[in-house]
Structure 1
Amino acid sequence: MLIVTEPAVATSLDAVAIVDEMHRLATQLLQADLSALSDAQVEYVAAETERVVARVTAAGDQQLVEVETRDLPRKTGRRNILAYMHDVLRMTRPGRRRAEAKAIATFTDLTGQPLQPELPTLAAAFADGRVGPDHVHAVMDVLDQIPAAVAHDVTAAAERTMAEYATWMTPPEIERA
């Protein structure tokens, strides 16, 4: 089994090169001969591919924050962020993705200081690829049922618990929990 190590943190100047490299690697993965692999190796490749997909989606959610911060929808003649996400970024469910980004991405305050994500434990699990987008939305749906009058520390504890559940439960199981 391969041991995958995390690369050094990239600077913002590397983002274009990183995306280009991701495309190159995706092409290689698409062309890889899986028939020569053992069952365990196929399972590993499939599971780790899904983990990468989740991590890249989390990165994309953070990029949506930057798109909105720079007001790119208006600059490109779109009506709003949802139209931009649909037309320019080619997202098929922009409303769902925007809600996800609002819950797990890091925004900045008026002075430019980073703010903690709305759902920080879930955001960390998503960024690590331990949960996928459907897990994120299942947790969001459960937490949305908590009345606004409930104390913040109770809601925060519920978020931590549900995020932990999401790392080993399926989305329907999360909703039932």
Structure 2
Amino acid sequence: MHSRSPRATSREFDAAHFRKALSQFATGVTVITTRLADGTLLGLTASSFNSVSLSPPLVLWSLSEQASSMPVFSGNSHYVINILGADQAALAEQFARKSADRFDGVEYTLSRTGQPVLKGVSAWFECHNRSRYPEGDHVIFVGEVEHCEVMPQAALVFHDGRFGKIDS
């Protein structure tokens, strides 16, 4: 069931202040990857990842409606959420840049459904693209996890506009 409450009454809202407040919440860092039918690889950095349910196993992430990759992620049946380790800040930056080939020089293997799994990540989740919910200027993707792996290591975190690490 999807229901909406009436809109908040405050019409004056400082978006820059809101963004600064959000930056105070430390998050893990992920790279979401998928592969098109023609073999083209696509990936992007996202910190909007969270668990939803253990049974069934569901996770979520969100993507700007304006993202050039929106049609691909909306239309593909599967994707992989790669959780980056503490030494992978350069990888996060590479997949955050607007570039023709974000996979340039990146080591990966293919999952059971042919999706790219990045080498050296601390965990990954192969997801069926179960549902999407438009909210505000983003779309929330809910993925049903079909397979996952974990390789425990120090975590890459993002806080106040900077990368850092948390030792495990």
Instruction: Using structure 2 for the length normalisation, give the TM-score.
Output: 0.29
Instruction: Using structure 1 for the length normalisation, give the TM-score.
Output: 0.28
Structure (1 or 2) with the greater strand fraction: 2
Larger radius of gyration: 1
| Structure with more contact order per residue of length (Cα contacts < 8 Å, sep ≥ 6) | 2
